[in-house]
């Protein structure tokens, strides 16, 4: 369906703009359920607002940062000069326009779109049934699954007992539901003998239905193809694949139920559209956490009535993982004007009370920590992206005072990402190239285990589009027909068993059958605020032959390996301070020119003032034609100073613009400075596993194991023969 387009509104600035933005933030976060409840009436009337999808112009990274501070429902669909945003009330639009943002309307009425999609789904399923056809998906499905469908389909797969094992996660959801997955591999019910594991998950976010569909279809594909497709058969003989199609079972159940309840009836040639049944949870994002640290009676989540695009109660599971938890791109419990997420607990990206505070993320942590997971993919929608660690810009200063830097395996992660995106046409980027995120699944799994980890953002423009598109997402369309995400997943599975990227452990001696070998390590995982006790522990059982070949992740975690970063001199080699003011309130600006004579490692611009006013900073570079190209800026909350950095600043004339956002008689100091830098490398440290051998529950010996990617080590395990 072609997105609706409108003319972008003109930039708006008002004397009370920052106050209006703050009001909009508070109301949109806390009072949106009332707005959506009113949508139970007639759609399209002048007095009713319906959720819209907007393409917001963000020409610079600074603009993306300013946008993230408005507390709006940002999607993962973004490019170098835009971010798509779901607005849930007129006050969300006030916050955007008061913030000086322009936008295009991609979907004018998301409730109407939901109803249209439901009608399209019904028509597609009916047409296929009438023709006696199945879809091109491995399952042949023609409609979205319900939670009950997923559980039933996993039961059906598990009938192939030598190939599939259905399992229950150890912790139920907050509403008391069991979370299921399937493990696939030849001789799957026998004890592990050293094969690596690929983990594929869906529906961390409730509204992202295709993320679960593709995970389930891949599981179905593997089971159907084993013994028939040589490539898949060989891979399942060398690896195990764990699929958890629905991680957020409570949220998905509500989203799927409410989303299907939207009924479209059009009369007067489409002039009136009536929505029957509240769609209050159709675009739910988070889980069903109602009170931090406390469970609530089963079924309580339904009583929350609405979760408009993620606002309201709940924890964003993809901000709750331990790696870098509590940093940029994740909201805390209380509003924090100094952070990049200021809405507090109702924010769609609320990170939870602590790392791994939620039963769903605890389940995934234990799943990954208890195996040698050499590949992890977490499916999401939408954006047509493959994202890799780390989730924050490498120049971001970590709590240890040193830039975060790139992942130590950046080149390898990027190369594999390209191989996968060559199959589905997605962009191969870091998450921070959209906006910073912390506490994500792959940031923890990669940095804690060393296994490669990615997020797939599936589909171009909707959280759960017409089901017919899901077929194309899996099988590929156009130039990618016959490839798609199916082929991308198979390439990921090939990486799972590729020992050039993992270590291999063997023993110099034959060991008695049934000897249990356990590889473990305890450590502390750093968050943005502190650290917490963490660890990994996996086991194999020596087979009848007495020989084993155990594929394992490196013993040294990526997060403690040496990292390279740019350190800037304490003193600038050129600086200039401009004293300005007072400026004219309301859209008042003052421009100051600063020349960069040659490429500078860093241009740093600081804007300070004495009174509790609100000024913004915009930085432009003059092009050869004399036009101004925005290259940076800063737009913090009121009374917060502004600062912007431009790395590798090109030579030329820069215009430093002070914007009077909402002040009466401000004066200010504006300092521009150029710095040289040197490349530095942290020392890092080396970590070892502890390998324990036991038989009949009795520990026979322990030894430390140091292993890196691509290494094969034959261990002296003579003590294990006793």
pLDDT digits (tens, 9 = 90+) for 363-394: 999 999 999 999 999 999 988 999 999 998 88
**Could you tell me if 446 and 320 lie in one domain?**
yes
**Could you tell me if 218 and 352 lie in one domain?**
yes
Tokens of 718: 């003579």
Kindly report, residue by residue over 205-263, the tens digit of the pLDDT.
999 999 999 999 999 999 999 999 999 999 999 999 999 999 999 999 999 988 776 54
Give mean pLDDT, residues 655-667.
79
Q: Are 347 and 341 in contact, with CB atoms under 8 Å apart?
A: yes
**Could you tell me if 287 and 171 lie in one domain?**
yes
Question: Do you find a cis peptide bond into 582, omega within 30 degrees of 0?
Answer: yes
**Could you tell me if 357 and 414 lie in one domain?**
yes
In a domain, 275, yes or no: no
Give mean pLDDT, residues 155-167.
97
* CATH number of the domain enclosing 623: 2.60.120.380
Provide the pLDDT confidence category of residue 307 given band limits of 50, 70 and 90. low
* Structural domain range at position 408: 150-250+283-297+308-498
Nearest of 86, 68, 105 to residue 307 by alpha carbon: 86
Q: What share of the chain is helix, strand, coil (3-state, %, to 5)?
A: 25, 30, 45
DSSP per-residue string spanning 561-614: S--EEEEE-SS-SEEEEEEE-PPPTTT-EEEEEEEE-S-EEEEEEEEE-SSS--
Give mean pLDDT, residues 499-527.
96
In three-state secondary structure terms, 119 is helix
Note the pLDDT of residue 264.
36
**Could you tell me if 704 and 631 lie in one domain?**
no
Write the CB contacts of 474 (distance below 8 Å, at least 6 apart in sequence). Answer: 137, 213, 214, 217, 218, 484, 485, 486
Angstrom CA distances, 662 to 21, 343, 416, stand at 11, 20, 48
**Could you tell me if 378 and 345 lie in one domain?**
yes
In three-state secondary structure terms, 182 is strand
**Could you tell me if 466 and 482 lie in one domain?**
yes
Note the pLDDT of residue 529.
87
* CATH number of the domain enclosing 421: 3.40.630.10
Domain boundary residue, one of 477, 498, 519: 498
* CATH number of the domain enclosing 708: 2.60.40
**In total, how many domains does the chain have?**
3
Helices in 199-334 by DSSP H: which ranges?
209-225, 230-238, 249-260
In a domain, 206, yes or no: yes
Nearest of 499, 525, 245 to residue 369 by alpha carbon: 525
The residue that leads in pLDDT, 664 or 653, is 653
In a domain, 587, yes or no: yes
Whether the per-residue pLDDT at 636 is higher than 80: the answer is no
**Could you tell me if 375 and 483 lie in one domain?**
yes
Whole-angstrom Cα distance, residue 679 to residue 717? 43
- Which uninterrupted H or E stretch holds 713? strand 712-715
Nearest of 579, 521, 529, 526 to residue 554 by alpha carbon: 521
**Could you tell me if 661 and 701 lie in one domain?**
no
Query: Which of the residues are catalytic?
Result: 457
Kindly report, residue by residue over 93-122, the tens digit of the pLDDT.
888 888 889 999 988 887 777 778 888 888
In a domain, 169, yes or no: yes
**Could you tell me if 634 and 558 lie in one domain?**
no
Place of tokens 């003998």: 193
Whole-angstrom Cα distance, residue 145 to residue 149? 5
In three-state secondary structure terms, 489 is helix
Burial annotation 278-289 (CB, 10 A radius, 16+ → b, else e): bbbbbbbbbbbb
Whole-angstrom Cα distance, residue 237 to residue 240? 8
Kindly report, residue by residue over 548-590, the tens digit of the pLDDT.
999 999 999 999 999 888 888 999 999 999 998 766 555 578 8
In a domain, 656, yes or no: yes
Q: Which residues are registered as beta bridge partners of 622?
A: 628
Q: Which residues are registered as beta bridge partners of 647?
A: 602
Note the pLDDT of residue 583.
62
Whole-angstrom Cα distance, residue 397 to residue 317? 24
In a domain, 710, yes or no: yes
Tokens of 202: 């869906």
**Could you tell me if 461 and 559 lie in one domain?**
no
**Could you tell me if 366 and 509 lie in one domain?**
no
């Amino acid at each position: 369906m072609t997105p609706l387009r409108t003319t972008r509104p003109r930039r708006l600035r008002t004397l009370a703009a920052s106050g209006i933005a703050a009001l909009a933030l508070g109301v949109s976060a806390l009072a949106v359920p009332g707005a959506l409840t009113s949508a139970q009436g007639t759609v399209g009337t002048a007095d009713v607002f319906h959720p819209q999808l907007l393409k917001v112009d963000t020409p610079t990274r600074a603009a993306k940062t300013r946008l993230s501070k408005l507390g709006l429902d940002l999607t993962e669909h973004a490019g170098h000069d835009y971010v798509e945003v779901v607005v849930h009330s007129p006050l969300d639009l006030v916050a955007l326009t008061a913030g000086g943002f322009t936008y295009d309307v991609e979907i004018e009425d998301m409730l109407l779109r939901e109803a249209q999609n439901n009608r399209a789904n019904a028509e597609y399923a009916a047409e296929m049934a009438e023709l006696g056809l199945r879809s091109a998906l491995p399952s042949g499905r023609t409609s979205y699954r319900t939670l009950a469908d997923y559980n039933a389909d996993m039961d059906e797969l598990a009938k192939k007992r030598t190939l599939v094992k259905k399992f229950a996660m150890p912790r139920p959801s907050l509403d008391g539901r069991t979370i299921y997955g399937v493990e696939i591999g030849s001789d799957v019910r026998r004890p592990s003998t050293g094969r690596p594991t690929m983990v594929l998950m869906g529906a961390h976010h409730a509204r992202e239905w295709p993320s679960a569909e593709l995970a389930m279809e891949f599981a179905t594909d593997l089971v159907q193809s084993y013994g028939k497709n040589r490539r898949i058969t060989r891979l399942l003989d060398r690896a195990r694949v764990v699929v958890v199609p629905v991680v957020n079972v409570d949220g998905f159940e509500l989203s799927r139920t409410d989303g299907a309840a939207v009924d479209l009836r059009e009369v007067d040639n489409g002039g009136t559209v009536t929505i029957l049944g509240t769609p209050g949870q159709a675009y739910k994002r988070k889980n069903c956490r109602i009170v931090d640290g406390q469970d609530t009676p089963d079924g309580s989540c339904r009583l929350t009535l609405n979760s408009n695009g993620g606002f309201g109660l709940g924890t964003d599971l993809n901000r709750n993982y331990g790696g870098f938890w509590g940093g940029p791109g994740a909201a805390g419990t209380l509003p924090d004007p100094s952070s990049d997420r200021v809405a507090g607990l109702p924010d769609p990206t609320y990170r939870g009370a602590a790392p791994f505070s939620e039963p769903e993320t605890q389940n995934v942590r234990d799943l990954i920590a208890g195996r040698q997971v050499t590949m992890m993919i977490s499916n999401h929608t939408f954006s047509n992206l493959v994202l890799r660690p780390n989730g924050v810009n490498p120049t971001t200063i970590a709590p240890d005072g040193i830039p975060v830097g790139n992942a130590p395996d950046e080149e390898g992660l990027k190369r594999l990402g390209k191989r996968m995106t060559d199959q589905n046409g997605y962009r191969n980027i870091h998450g921070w190239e959209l906006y910073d995120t912390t506490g994500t699944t792959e940031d923890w799994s990669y940095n804690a285990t060393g296994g490669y980890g990615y997020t797939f953002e599936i589909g171009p423009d909707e959280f759960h589009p017409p089901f017919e598109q899901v077929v194309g997402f899996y099988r590929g369309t156009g130039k990618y027909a016959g490839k798609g995400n199916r082929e991308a997943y198979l390439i990921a599975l090939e990486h799972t068993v590729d020992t050039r990227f993992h270590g291999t452990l063997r023993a110099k001696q034959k060991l008695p059958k049934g000897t249990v070998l356990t590889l473990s390590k305890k450590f502390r995982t750093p968050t943005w605020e502190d650290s917490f006790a963490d660890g990994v522990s996996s086991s194999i059982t020596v087979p009848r032959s007495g020989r084993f070949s155990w594929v394992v992740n490196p013993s040294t975690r990526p997060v403690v390996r040496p990292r390279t970063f740019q350190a800037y001199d304490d003193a600038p080699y050129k600086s200039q301070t401009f004293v300005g003011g007072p400026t004219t309130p309301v859209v008042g600006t003052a421009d100051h020119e600063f020349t960069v004579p040659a490429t500078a490692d860093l241009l740093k611009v600081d804007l300070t003032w004495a009174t509790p006013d609100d000024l913004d900073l915009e930085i432009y570079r003059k092009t050869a034609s004399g036009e101004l190209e925005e290259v940076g800026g800063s737009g913090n909350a009121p009374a917060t100073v502004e600062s912007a950095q431009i790395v590798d600043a090109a030579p030329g004339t820069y215009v430093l613009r002070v914007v009077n956002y909402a002040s009466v008689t401000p004066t200010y100091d504006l300092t521009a400075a150029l710095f040289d830098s040197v490349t530095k490398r942290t020392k890092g440290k080396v970590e070892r596993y502890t390998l324990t051998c036991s038989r009949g529950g009795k520990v026979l010996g322990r030894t430390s194991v140091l292993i890196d990617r691509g290494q094969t080590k034959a261990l002296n395990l003579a003590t294990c023969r006793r």
